[in-house]
């Protein structure tokens, strides 16, 4: 019922460049943009405890709430080779009870503080997050600390979690988005741990409470953990609670290896397809490796992606949605892992226009790679990107999440402000160079989820091999 697919409204600007508005194509009576207000990125206080725990505090006035994020280094990258997606199992069970609290008590104590504890694995981390009332922040922190130091992985809780993860995997395997992403990442990353998007049935069934306890000790360690608090709190008081509840935490035994290599760029020359009976659409994914946050052309690629398919007023959306009506949900994203970015174009299109849509997507990709962008669209994309940075600072939970992502990438909190400057400095020439490097259609690994015969008939004219996803 929304105009846009999965759009999240959020609102900032570090410094919007004064804009020479594209006056010709805009209505003559449209008022001009007003003066830019300078907006500073949030100030982060960093404290390091003796046990190595890093603490980032961002006190700010407003609603009486505090968002907490605990980030632990090592996600799917730290999973044992024979248990891909194990990080999901540990994230699902670490919140299910401690020596001091049953799983139900953990949930109830968090609820009493106005929160809900959720653990999630990412490729490079495990994140545990909640958002609670300021008046109950200390109580919530104690539950957090208890979870990080005293989790028990009770047999009964592990059995329930395994059964639920197995059912969730079954449920997910009915979703085109899950199937498409799994096939794409597998084709893009091969044996590299970034190929992992979920546990397998085998990795779930192999997991035992004993293995979880061992891995907990190897992975949940203060010197590999960052605690972030953003919101309405007294820095001094909160820090005292942090010290009281986390100071006794010690790293024990051998640490799990978490380092991973920079992945090689694999390009599948075949169309990878996932047969899905009764599909009335084909879900198309075109993906390739892109820059990570530290890469010199990261900002330029981000602007290129925005004007190609990231904005609503982008080339791709204008073409296959607003002009041709092939799809509701076209878009392109640059997703960031520590060692690499991933550029993904996605569109769910009705069966009969699968081939026509693929043709237009590859056309727009190759147009990015071979022709210079218009100055107007580069300026618009830059302002859009700067505004998005600002908008993402409006929610405490979103600030906490962004700070966690920077830390996982070994970047300082100041990077929040630097990102704005990097975007401002991007020139049309930078965008063209990044687009030539990242956007050629031949670089893309193509995944199609849908009716097998539709995919094969519709995409046959492109002369590519077909390869069934494993």
Residues 316-355 that bind other proteins (CB under 8 A): 318, 321-329, 348-350
Q: Which residue lies nearer to other proteins by CB, 107 or 238?
A: 107
Give 289's contacts (C-beta < 8 A, 6+ positions apart).
188, 263, 265, 340, 341, 342, 343
Q: Which residue lies nearer to other proteins by CB, 15 or 217?
A: 15
Instruction: With H, G, I as helix, E, B as strand and everything else as coil, classify residue 236.
Output: helix
Site string for other proteins, 166-205 (x = CB under 8 A): -xx-xx-xxxx-----------------------------
Q: Which residue lies nearer to other proteins by CB, 7 or 264?
A: 7
Q: Which residue lies nearer to other proteins by CB, 124 or 348?
A: 348
Give 29's contacts (C-beta < 8 A, 6+ positions apart).
none
Residues numbered 115-134 forming contacts with other proteins, rule: CB under 8 A: 115-117, 131-133
Q: Which residue lies nearer to other proteins by CB, 117 or 151?
A: 117
When binding is defined by CB under 8 A, the residue of 40, 46, 60, 163 that contacts other proteins is 163
CA atoms within 13 A on the CB side of 151: 26
> Are 17 and 383 in contact, with CB atoms under 8 Å apart?
yes
Residues numbered 392-431 forming contacts with other proteins, rule: CB under 8 A: 394-397
Starting at the edge strand that comes first in sequence, how are the strands of the sheet with 65-73 ordered? 45-48, 54-59, 225-231, 65-73, 125-133, 118-121
Give 353's contacts (C-beta < 8 A, 6+ positions apart).
324, 326
Q: Least distance from C-beta 278 to other proteins, angstroms? A: 4
DSSP character at residue 239:
H
Site size for other proteins, by CB under 8 A? Answer: 94
Give 177's contacts (C-beta < 8 A, 6+ positions apart).
283
When binding is defined by CB under 8 A, the residue of 110, 195, 332, 441 that contacts other proteins is 110
The enclosing H or E element of 177 equals helix 176-189
Give 219's contacts (C-beta < 8 A, 6+ positions apart).
72, 74, 78, 90, 126, 255, 256, 258
Q: Least distance from C-beta 410 to other proteins, angstroms? A: 29
Q: Pick the stretch among 265-273, 313-321, 332-340, 367-375 that binds other proteins (CB under 8 A).
A: 313-321
Q: Which residue lies nearer to other proteins by CB, 212 or 381?
A: 381
Cα 423 vs. chain centroid, distance in angstroms? Answer: 20
113 binds other proteins (CB under 8 A): yes
Residues numbered 237-276 forming contacts with other proteins, rule: CB under 8 A: 276
Residues numbered 432-451 forming contacts with other proteins, rule: CB under 8 A: none
Say how far apart CA 444 and CA 311 lie, in whole Å: 20
Residues numbered 369-398 forming contacts with other proteins, rule: CB under 8 A: 379-380, 383-384, 386-388, 390-391, 394-397
When binding is defined by CB under 8 A, the residue of 41, 56, 58, 65 that contacts other proteins is 65
């Amino acid at each position: 019922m929304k105009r846009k697919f999965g759009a999240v409204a959020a609102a900032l600007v570090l410094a919007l460049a004064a804009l020479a508005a594209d006056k010709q194509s805009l209505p003559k009576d449209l008022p001009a943009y007003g003066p830019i207000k300078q907006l500073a990125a949030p100030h982060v206080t960093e404290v390091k405890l003796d046990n190595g725990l890093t603490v980032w505090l961002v006190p700010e006035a407003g609603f009486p709430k505090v968002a907490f994020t605990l980030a632990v280094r090592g996600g799917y990258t730290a999973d044992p080779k024979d248990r891909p997606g194990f990080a999901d199992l540990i994230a699902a069970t670490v919140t299910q009870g401690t020596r001091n609290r049953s799983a139900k008590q953990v949930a109830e104590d968090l609820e009493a503080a106005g929160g809900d504890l959720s653990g999630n694995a990412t490729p490079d981390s495990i994140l545990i997050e909640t958002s609670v009332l300021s008046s109950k922040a200390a109580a919530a922190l104690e539950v957090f600390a208890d979870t990080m130091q005293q989790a028990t992985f009770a047999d009964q809780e592990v059995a329930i979690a395994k059964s639920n993860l197995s059912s969730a995997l079954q449920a997910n395997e009915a979703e085109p988005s899950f199937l498409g992403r799994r096939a794409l990442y597998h084709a893009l990353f091969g044996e590299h741990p970034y190929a992992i998007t979920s546990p397998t049935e085998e990795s779930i069934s192999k997991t035992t409470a004993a293995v979880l306890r061992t891995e907990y000790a190897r992975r949940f360690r203060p010197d590999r953990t960052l605690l972030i608090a953003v919101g309405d709190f007294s820095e001094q008081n909160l820090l005292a609670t942090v010290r009281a509840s986390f100071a006794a935490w010690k790293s024990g035994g051998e640490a799990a290896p978490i380092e991973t290599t920079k992945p090689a760029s694999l390009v599948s020359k075949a169309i990878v397809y996932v047969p899905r009976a009764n599909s009335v659409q084909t879900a198309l994914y075109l993906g390739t490796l892109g820059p990570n946050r530290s890469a010199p052309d990261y900002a330029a690629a981000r602007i290129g992606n925005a004007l190609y398919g990231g904005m609503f007023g982008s080339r791709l959306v204008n073409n296959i949605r607003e002009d041709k009506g092939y799809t509701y949900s076209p878009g392109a994203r640059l997703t960031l892992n520590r060692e690499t970015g991933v550029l993904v174009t996605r569109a769910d299109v009705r069966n009969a226009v699968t081939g026509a849509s693929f043709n237009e997507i590859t056309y727009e990709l190759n147009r990015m790679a071979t022709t210079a962008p218009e100055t107007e669209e580069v300026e618009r994309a830059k302002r859009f990107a700067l505004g998005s940075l600002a908008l993402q600072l409006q929610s405490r939970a979103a600030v906490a999440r962004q700070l966690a992502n920077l830390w996982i990438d070994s970047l300082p909190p100041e990077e929040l402000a630097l990102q704005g400057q990097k975007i401002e400095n991007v020139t049309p020439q930078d965008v063209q160079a990044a687009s030539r490097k990242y956007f050629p259609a031949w670089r893309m690994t193509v995944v199609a989820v849908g009716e097998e015969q539709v995919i094969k008939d519709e995409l046959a004219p492109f002369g590519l091999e077909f390869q069934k996803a494993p």
